[in-house]
Amino acid sequence: MEEKKDQYLFGMHPVLEAVRSGKKFDKVLLKKGLEGEQFRELLSLLTEKDINFQFVPVERLNRTVRGAHQGVIAYISQIDYVSIEDLVNNALATSEAPVFIILDGVSDVRNLGAIARTLECAGGNGIIVPAKGGAAINADAVKASAGALMRLDTCKVPNLRVAAYYLKQSGFRLIAATEKVDRMMYDTDMTGPCAIIMGSEDKGISSSMLDFADDRVCIPMSGQISSLNVSVAASVMLYECVRQRFDRK
């Protein structure tokens, strides 16, 4: 899906000035083989500010911009991200038992938006996504979330495992939703602070995150199809969490 024009800047000087001024970007595409003083300064700033960038063939840039992109296209962030520390502190300040969603490789913006919408409706506190390898949080994702992504704290991290370790150290239970186990979600306590891990649409949760989870649970399935859409599965998990908390009252 091509990005809309109002979602990106292009050209070496405009992008460089925007990065200097503190403009937030989801990612920056750079033409392979770029050289020059301005390029080196831009690369240094992107690294310093931890902005995701990648080198791509010029054909990819040409498909997006008709004109003098000068080998640089920068996609503007649609939301303000928070750090993992602020995510946890904000949640614990407003809830005794916060709930987060960790998305491990979910790549479809509509799934991401739908998950955020359900999380907000269920009273969840925030969402954690990887800096690379996941769906872009763009205008389409915000629209699919019905605006929930503008209300939820969202944290983009370079390493999900490091973020997960921080959550554990902060008292959160990590619950992985996977069809690769027999333990039902009903048999896991979700009444305390927890983070529910949902995997990619095709491969599920990565082995490194599965190994790191405190609990690995499945959703009961009785039909011929072996798995649910990830956004539907996330909804089932979140509302089991809601049910358990209502039952405990």
pLDDT averages per 10-residue partition of the chain, 249 residues: 64 92 88 92 91 91 88 90 96 96 96 97 97 86 94 94 97 95 95 97 93 96 88 97 89
Q: Is residue 41 within 8 Å of residue 16, measured between CB atoms?
A: yes
Task: Return the structure tokens found at 27.
Answer: 């990612």
Residue-wise pLDDT for 147-196, tens only, equals 999 999 999 998 999 999 999 999 999 999 999 899 999 999 999 999 99
CA distance 42 to 58: 18
The residue ranges of every structural domain in the chain are 5-76, 84-248
DSSP 101: E
Task: Return the structure tokens found at 108.
Answer: 């479809």
User: What pLDDT was estimated at residue 14?
Assistant: 92
Task: Return the structure tokens found at 180.
Answer: 């690769």
The CATH number of the structural domain formed by 84-248 is 3.40.1280.10
User: What pLDDT was estimated at residue 6?
Assistant: 52
CA distance 138 to 125: 20
What global pTM score does this model have?
0.84
CA distance 67 to 71: 11
Residue-wise pLDDT for 127-143, tens only, equals 999 988 888 888 889 99
Query: What distances in angstroms separate CA 199 from CA 19, 101, 142, one per listed residue?
Result: 32, 11, 20
- Strand pairing category for 126-130 and 153-157: parallel
E strand or H helix that includes residue 195: strand 194-199
Task: Return the structure tokens found at 63.
Answer: 């498909």
User: What pLDDT was estimated at residue 68?
Assistant: 86
What's the CATH class of domain 5-76? alpha beta
User: What pLDDT was estimated at residue 4?
Assistant: 53
User: What pLDDT was estimated at residue 2?
Assistant: 45
- Among candidates 113, 172, 137, which has minimal Cα distance to 24? 137
Determine the Cα angle at 14 with ends 8 and 18, to 5°.
75
